[in-house]
Amino acid sequence: MKPRLLVAVAVLAAGVSSAQVTLDAPRGGWKHTGGEAIQHLQEVHYPASRVNAGGPRFGDDGRDLSAAIRGRIAGTTAAKAKRPQLLVVNGVAMPLSIDTGGAFARPYAFPPGSNSVEVRSADRQHLRRISFHDANATRSRGGLRIVLSWDSDLTDIDLHVVSPDGQHVFYGDRVAKNGGALDVDVTTGYGPEIYAIPSPPRGTWQIYVNYFGGFGSGDESERPITLAQVAIITREGTPDEKLQVFRIPLRRPGELTLVRSFVVP
């Protein structure tokens, strides 16, 4: 029988408190997610307003908590909610949006093996970190994962991935025949949008980001410069895991940028 000791691990730095940050999901300790594929694709009603992590698929009735990041930062005011908090998943840092009550929720498909999740308040004075080990050996590790996030709210940045076999995955065609998929199309937050494929085809891959637009101002010329971040993780969860992070300034809506062209041997 697989061990199921669910023990959250809180790690505190000097001058940092964990009292105001709660993480309800994912659960800490050891767990087994079962043999079924976790459904983390969001139905898109374009343009979407926020990442939709509500409903029974993401924990309202206790199911699929292993595929969600959910919790609350206490003491949040409307002003504080406008600032991005910080989410760090397996070493990849990205902004995190919260509502006026401090709640946050994000679907996330974790790889089998060791994982860590950290949430920090915008002022970095409060944090909660948990570590857990997913004991599901039947699910494939991520051969390639690409995580896009950006630093301005009310902004739509799109991830485009072109694989060596010519398949193009983006918000309009999110599931490819080669097993690659884009999980969520985020249009007015900080992301992240995540592309993952268990067995990436060999050859040259291309990653683009498109500054689609923003929704905070009627004048496109007044849109702020957005700093996009693309994290590329190969052989995730193995001793050969490699993480590369690229940051790209995007200055105007409509701008399409080639972030990285690389070869999978």
Question: Biggest alpha carbon distance in the chain?
Answer: 60
Would you call 197 exposed, middle or buried from its count of C-beta atoms within 10 A (0-12, 13-18, 19+)? buried
Give me the residues paired with residue 56 across strands.
none
Q: What is this structure's pTM? A: 0.79
User: Both 88 and 168 in a single domain?
Assistant: no
User: Both 117 and 183 in a single domain?
Assistant: no
Q: Structurally, how many domains does the chain consist of?
A: 2
List, for residues 5-34, the tens digit of each pLDDT value.
333 334 444 456 666 899 888 877 776 665
Q: Which residues contact 219 (CB under 8 A, 6 or more apart)?
A: none
User: Both 63 and 116 in a single domain?
Assistant: yes
User: Both 2 and 132 in a single domain?
Assistant: yes
Rounded to 5°, angle at Cα 106 from 102 and 110: 135
User: Both 167 and 118 in a single domain?
Assistant: no
250 pLDDT above the threshold of 80: yes
Top-confidence residue, 210 or 142: 210
CATH number of the domain that residue 102 is part of: 2.60.40.10
User: Both 237 and 135 in a single domain?
Assistant: no
User: Both 10 and 106 in a single domain?
Assistant: yes
Last residue of a domain, one of 121, 139, 157: 139
CA distance 32 to 116: 16
Last residue of a domain, one of 139, 172, 190: 139
Last residue of a domain, one of 139, 169, 191: 139
User: Both 50 and 169 in a single domain?
Assistant: no
Q: Which residues contact 221 (CB under 8 A, 6 or more apart)?
A: none
Strands 113-120 and 85-89: antiparallel
Q: Determine contact, residues 4/59, Cβ cutoff 8 Å.
A: no
User: Both 133 and 145 in a single domain?
Assistant: no
User: Both 103 and 93 in a single domain?
Assistant: yes
User: Both 148 and 257 in a single domain?
Assistant: yes
Residue 4 has a pLDDT of: 33
Residue 219 has a pLDDT of: 58
Residue 59 has a pLDDT of: 43
Would you call 145 exposed, middle or buried from its count of C-beta atoms within 10 A (0-12, 13-18, 19+)? buried
User: Both 213 and 154 in a single domain?
Assistant: yes
Q: Which helix (H) or strand (E) holds 80?
A: helix 78-81
Parent domain of 185: 140-265
Nearest alpha-carbon partner for 68 in 36, 94, 42: 42
Residue 26 has a pLDDT of: 83
CATH number of the domain that residue 242 is part of: 2.60.120
